[in-house]
Amino acid sequence: MSADLVHPSLLYRNLYVSVLNQKGIALQATIPAGLDRKEADLYRHLDPERLPKHIAIIMDGNGRWARRRHMPRIAGHRAGVAAVRSTVETAARIPIPALTLYAFSEENWKKRPKSEVDFLMRLLGRYLKMEVPRLNKNNIRLEYIGRQQELPESVQERMEWARRSTETNTGMVLTLALNYSARTELVDAFRSLVQAAAHNGGIDHLHVDEEAIGRHLYTKHLPDPDLVVRTSGEMRLSNFLLWQLAYAEIYVTPTLWPDFRGHHLLEGIAEYQKRERRYGGLNDNHAHHLVSETARG
Ligand code: FPP
């Protein structure tokens, strides 16, 4: 076992630790490079073999964060950018293959004051310009879900530029949900299914099953999330990935989004690893019991 502390700023590199997996077998885990001390301490207790393949996050609480400081709501959104950066980079480092952030819902677009929506659009544009070099440095590929065509043209152009600037990266896929609604996604998927059938011999060729629907969702490039995180203590899915979250574990933290950092994500993953995922079946003990009872007749 070797511990190799490489940087005075508390960054760890190639630090080997033992972690017990579910069966109690010791695994040799490497602390990924770039984690700070707090993150490394949390990572050490995780089973690297059971990290979620896809984490979805409902970023919430920017307004409350600002109100508590007697600041305008937009100050909360501005502070939220640091939380996005920390979360994205920690997720990419450990590594999580896919991270999806609910940045802007269709309802936000329709129900918030124009001044706030305009600010969010400018913030997104600035974020993309600023972050592309960091995304490239961290080998992160950027994608989007939502009705992009309804966003301002200048934002769409910036989004396309950022997507293309990161498209050859092979690490984590970061998907931003922008002007996103899960119900609208399903409407668009059904329309797309019907259109595909129309181009392929007509409605008699319409074949609908779960796989077919999945292929027409905005998230066709992603596995379903294993874990959904919501900040600010709210217990709702708010029209986010309703189809894809069917079997996801839900982790709600009282932390407001602007205060959320990589170590909070690792706390969520630790909680996820304590859960037993059954997908509607029985756990191993129950299943074993049932098999023995059946064998006994
Ligand atoms: C929810 O807080 C947050 C949003 C609607 C916007 C999310 C935007 C960011 C995190 C900032 C930047 C992100 C990117 C990707 C550039 P809220 O306003 O609903 O908070 P409240 O419930 O406390 O009012």
The position carrying tokens 């079946």 is 281
Question: CB of 124 closer than 6 A to ligand 1?
Answer: yes
Q: Residue 294 Cα, ligand 1 centroid: separation in angstroms?
A: 53
Q: Residue 181 Cα, ligand 1 centroid: separation in angstroms?
A: 15
Task: Check residues 253 and 29 and name the one with the higher pLDDT.
Answer: 253
Q: Which residue among 64, 77, 85, 135 has the greatest number of ligand 1 atoms within 8 angstroms of its CB, and so is best to mutate?
A: 77
Q: Where are the domains of the chain?
A: 9-275
Residue pLDDT, tens place only, 239-257:
999 999 999 999 999 999 9
Q: Is residue 239 flagged as an active site residue?
A: no
Residue pLDDT, tens place only, 83-106:
999 999 999 999 999 999 999 999
Residue pLDDT, tens place only, 202-220:
888 888 999 999 999 999 9
Q: Could you tell me the pLDDT band of residue 1, with boundaries at 50, 70 and 90?
A: very low
Question: CB of 79 closer than 6 A to ligand 1?
Answer: no
* pLDDT for res 11: 40
* pLDDT for res 10: 34
Residue pLDDT, tens place only, 163-183:
999 999 999 999 999 999 999
| Domain 9-275 classification at class level | alpha beta
Q: Is residue 139 flagged as an active site residue?
A: no
* pLDDT for res 23: 59
Confirm if 86 and 261 have CB atoms less than 8 A apart.
yes
